[in-house]
Amino acid sequence: MVAILQLASCLLMTSMVTASLSCPGVCNRGGVSKREGYCSSLPSNTCGDHCRCSDDPFIQDGYYCDCRGCELSSVVLKTGCQDLFNAGFTASGIYRIAPGGVIMDVYCDMNSTYPSSNWRRGGWVVIQKRIDGSTNFYRNWENYKNGFGYLQNEHWLGNDQIHVLTDNGANELWIEMTNYEGITKYARFTSFSVGNEASKYQLSASGYSGDAGNQLATTAHNGRRFTTFDNDNDAWSGNCAQRYLGAWWYGACHHSNLNGKYYFGGSNPYAKGVHWVTFTGHHDSLKTVVMKIR
């Protein structure tokens, strides 16, 4: 099984892994940091013992932890972020993992902050992130298959990668979303999986809890196939992704669309924003969304 993951200005090839990590080079991040050398102003242990601090080229006084370097050369690749967390890796950052023997780079959230004590535990693979509208999410089938964006910032991990992860035990989904009034809500699903490309990345979700409302494990979305503007698999006579400006698991058409067009300020034309309808309605778009699995 082979897939390609876009990260910064480089392409990382995923493949079968049969040995320990062989000290891969870290990709050029691309661009110029808004403040070069910011990491040098931070405490030396900012990213813990296993990761290096990297200046974020897109955020003023921003950084992220890169945990893919030679300091892990003697460690057999873990199957996911939860295995890393259980092994003592507690810094959130970019890690290299190998679920089902497929090597991929992911962003691990090791410091979840939602009030529930159980959900504060780390070990989450971030599969989608929207925070500032800097990345275009109105993309074609191939882009959603392989993934796009920057792992430390806005991105979609890739449907192939999400399938591999959920096919190898990462079956809890946590969605955290914040509106422009600063209100944060969440939706948790104890069972979540995405099929392979032959199934059109069919969605399976159940076991909802949270305060955002269940807008995924319903007939509108559960069991639905993924639709992009160039690959129509929804139940509507038209193309929901074209009509509502985002790729998603559509029925005919949506109660949620977290890959919709990003609208600054929150107000949007009917049903064309980043929506979770029991939280936003169809006219208010979310400010931030993070989808993560473990």
Query: Where are the domain boundaries for CATH 3.90.215.10 in the chain?
Result: 81-225+285-293
Separation CA 36–CA 161 (nearest Å): 32
pLDDT at 30 over 60: no
The predicted structure's pLDDT at residue 213:
98
Binned at pLDDT 50, 70 and 90, residue 252 comes out as very high
pTM of the prediction? 0.84
Are the CB atoms for 129 and 155 separated by under 8 Å?
Answer: yes
The 3-state DSSP class for residue 177 equals strand
What are the backbone dihedrals phi and psi of residue 106, each rounded to the nearest 5 degrees, phi first?
A: -140, 160
Tens of pLDDT, residue by residue over 217-236, are 999 999 999 999 999 999 99
Are the CB atoms for 148 and 247 separated by under 8 Å?
Answer: no
Binned at pLDDT 50, 70 and 90, residue 35 comes out as low
Binned at pLDDT 50, 70 and 90, residue 116 comes out as low
At the topology level, CATH places domain 81-225+285-293 in Gamma Fibrinogen; Chain A, domain 1 (3.90.215)
Are the CB atoms for 101 and 224 separated by under 8 Å?
Answer: no
